[in-house]
Structure 1
């Protein structure tokens, strides 16, 4: 029997160890089992992942089944199509006291996924009513909220130790100012708690500036402590989710930066990415290499001593409070907040997103607001606002991290 996911991470964090995790999913059960086994046996403190395929994510189980039958490639593990019996066989002898496993998926309507993972003996997954709706689907937000309320209730009923991780700190993965990422992560975690979960994690995706990111994760931890009384929680950092460096050296430098961010900011867990991210789905060996690199970096990184307060905590607090003021129940408050533009994700094309807020990268590489639309945080100063970003400027911002880390540091030409 596995230690509960949240309890395992809490135990390792208390011992001073960063838990590292891959985003690994393969369609063939034997390959998936080997990936979990090698993740468990890596020279690192790890948890396992079953990342699901895109057909399962959108509920197209007919196509997932056809792909399996025809031997067509899938980009993850088709959990629902394989069913609980096959999944239990994948986990047998791998899932255990020191190796919990989480299901990662991306679905706005996760009922079948949750039912199957529970039947397979698992009780840890991730997502959220906003973060798995706006970027990944055209599902109406109110519908996604109902789906996720049901998913939370099913998880809570299945296990008193069920764990749910909010994806809210990773909205679109890039070009979203940190205050909004922190606020959505906190709001989704509160939503989970309101619907019965007593063990949650709050995510934050590495962005473009280390100091800004460290300030954001510290703000996230402060708000979690304030708004989640009586709930077991921890923070998970994601290695950068935008355009990834194309060179192995650049990818290693970016993952090193992510591991340092996780330790310095007090996060308990890190989702790694590999040197192959810019080109294809990583192999098991590439995932293990990334896990071990992150663990080595984390072991040699001292805890941070704080960063300059540039207002991220105050901004995130204002956003959270504005939504909570709408309705005590976030199932009603979240859709209303988006309808009124109190929450508004830059460059997100979902019909329920107002689309008035805009962001930009300043000259120092920090994410800033160009236009706050209806967000309850006030407009950026006129002096700070750039001219409206065109397509060329947006593409340059999206590739900023790739260029930065693929460029050898001074004295390291050819690295």
Structure 2
């Protein structure tokens, strides 16, 4: 099939489905009709899409951690601990690295070794190997909405198994789970493979089962300008909606400047609703997710709690529908369940304290919203132009041209010409605009903001600013000032 942003027919989908299910023996246990009937029995309180709709209506910000271990019983215990001790509203299943690379034989060895050792020797939950029955044990043992979180370029079999087992939310996308995660996987392949995932979820929607979809907003996680992540998020939202997805959560990773971060969430929601309606997807329910700081963390736990608290406060003041919570062990590796719960409780406390407070729509905030919207529109409209009206085709061509470009990405399909740095107030700007299709006044805006900081610091604008900013938070600051 030729890559294009057009809903697959049932015949086109089914022509590929058996090949996908044959990738590993557990695929044979997927039964779509049985899965639909099973989803009909899932109560609303355990249904991701319904919980998000309720939260959006009530102005809530829900909490969700990252978590996953190798063995079923241990994973169940971990999730229940995070719900009880961490007071998590939504729960994840973070998938292991072998599964993300479709290395199921290596995964099985990891499960076997974990059983011998009596503890997890994988960095996540190997859902494909556990199969529908094993994954459903998790679904039936945890009284909360469950989402699959991973980082998989080819996530088709993983999607088939976990959704058939009863998961009600699936994260990822053909751009956001390629460019930040893989070096040599083509965008044509990953966008096509994720169209399969979206069409699968669209088929569930046709049978009355709404599965939430969430593109991965933060991308590479460090100093990603809002307009870049917004453009990718909205494109992936449109690609999902074309395949029949009806409930979509678009995300953004914290940059650290309060005004910019609040503006980013508001601009993302407004732009997404505008572009989805413009392209005929006005019936999709849109929500937002704010990711707490995705860059380097301080090793000192007390300082790490400061970073977590700042992210929690920003999420609730921005009125994001949910927040992905970090732990005080971010700088040290995989956190203990106790540390994970501590991050959740810290976040919940901040949300409860600030939930009745509204951040005023100041002229400064509105100006930042306007800047983010203008930049994002420049990118989206150029992508559509390059694709001759097709966002799938346009995305591939846009990355080739640098019209879409993600900083610090490992993928050879991203030009990596843009370089972000903070301005004098800590907002993320562009030291190098690269080939982003900004208007001259927008380019000048970024140059002026970087020059303003350079003057305040008594140094010339340089690449050293970029380096300083990457490590600043881990060293206890937001802006990487010279000593």
Q: TM-score, normalised by structure 1?
A: 0.91
1:404: how far off? 3.0
1:383: how far off? 4.7
Q: How does 1:301-316 map to 2 (within 5 A)?
A: 301=354, 302-306=357-361, 307-310=365-368, 311-316=371-376
For the 8 Å contact 1:235–1:269, the answer to whether it is kept is yes
Q: How does 1:333-344 map to 2 (within 5 A)?
A: 333-344=394-405
Partner of 2:200: 154
3-state secondary structure, aligned to 1:309? helix
1:279: how far off? 0.4
For 2:337 and 2:450, the matched residues in 1 are separated by: 45
Q: Tell me if 1:203 matches 2:246.
A: no
Q: Tell me if 1:260 matches 2:313.
A: yes
Partner of 1:177: 225
Q: Tell me if 1:90 matches 2:138.
A: yes
* Deviations 1:86-106 (CA, angstroms, capped at 9, x unpaired): 1111222324xxx21000010
For the 8 Å contact 1:253–1:405, the answer to whether it is kept is no
Are residues 21 and 339 of structure 1, via their aligned partners in 2, closer, same or farther at CA, if it must alter by over 3 Å?
same
For the 8 Å contact 2:153–2:174, the answer to whether it is kept is yes
For 1:303 and 1:38, the matched residues in 2 are separated by: 32
Are residues 140 and 57 of structure 1, via their aligned partners in 2, closer, same or farther at CA, if it must alter by over 3 Å?
same
Are residues 240 and 26 of structure 1, via their aligned partners in 2, closer, same or farther at CA, if it must alter by over 3 Å?
same
1:54 to 87, 97, 110: 97
Are residues 290 and 383 of structure 1, via their aligned partners in 2, closer, same or farther at CA, if it must alter by over 3 Å?
closer
3-state secondary structure, aligned to 2:82? helix
For the 8 Å contact 1:362–1:368, the answer to whether it is kept is yes
3-state secondary structure, aligned to 2:320? coil
Are residues 46 and 383 of structure 1, via their aligned partners in 2, closer, same or farther at CA, if it must alter by over 3 Å?
closer
* Deviations 1:30-58 (CA, angstroms, capped at 9, x unpaired): 12101221233346451111000011111
For 2:338 and 2:86, the matched residues in 1 are separated by: 13
For 1:232 and 1:257, the matched residues in 2 are separated by: 28
For the 8 Å contact 2:79–2:91, the answer to whether it is kept is yes
Partner of 1:166: 215
Q: Tell me if 1:214 matches 2:272.
A: no
Q: Give the CA RMSD over aligned residues.
A: 2.0
Partner of 1:413: none
For 1:297 and 1:227, the matched residues in 2 are separated by: 33
For 2:478 and 2:195, the matched residues in 1 are separated by: 42
Partner of 2:187: 141
3-state secondary structure, aligned to 1:25? coil
3-state secondary structure, aligned to 1:294? helix
3-state secondary structure, aligned to 1:196? coil
For the 8 Å contact 1:249–1:406, the answer to whether it is kept is no
**Structure with greater Cα Rg:** 2
* Deviations 1:89-142 (CA, angstroms, capped at 9, x unpaired): 1222324xxx21000010011011101102212231111111100011121111
Q: Tell me if 1:191 matches 2:239.
A: yes
For 2:201 and 2:121, the matched residues in 1 are separated by: 30
3-state secondary structure, aligned to 2:476? helix
3-state secondary structure, aligned to 2:439? coil
* Deviations 1:149-186 (CA, angstroms, capped at 9, x unpaired): 1111112213430111011x211001221121122111
For the 8 Å contact 1:246–1:406, the answer to whether it is kept is no
1:308: how far off? 4.2
Unpaired runs of at least 5, structure 2: 1-41, 115-119, 277-281, 452-459
Are residues 110 and 121 of structure 1, via their aligned partners in 2, closer, same or farther at CA, if it must alter by over 3 Å?
same
* Deviations 1:224-283 (CA, angstroms, capped at 9, x unpaired): 221232101100001111101211221111111111111111211000001111102112
For 2:367 and 2:475, the matched residues in 1 are separated by: 28
Q: Tell me if 1:363 matches 2:409.
A: no
Q: Tell me if 1:317 matches 2:398.
A: no
1:358: how far off? 1.9
Q: Tell me if 1:280 matches 2:333.
A: yes
3-state secondary structure, aligned to 1:92? helix
3-state secondary structure, aligned to 1:34? helix
1:201: how far off? 0.2
For 1:300 and 1:108, the matched residues in 2 are separated by: 39
Partner of 1:352: 413
Matched residues, number: 402
3-state secondary structure, aligned to 1:360? strand
Are residues 43 and 370 of structure 1, via their aligned partners in 2, closer, same or farther at CA, if it must alter by over 3 Å?
closer
For 2:224 and 2:461, the matched residues in 1 are separated by: 16
For 1:257 and 1:224, the matched residues in 2 are separated by: 26
Q: Tell me if 1:401 matches 2:470.
A: no
1:297: how far off? 0.5
3-state secondary structure, aligned to 1:212? helix
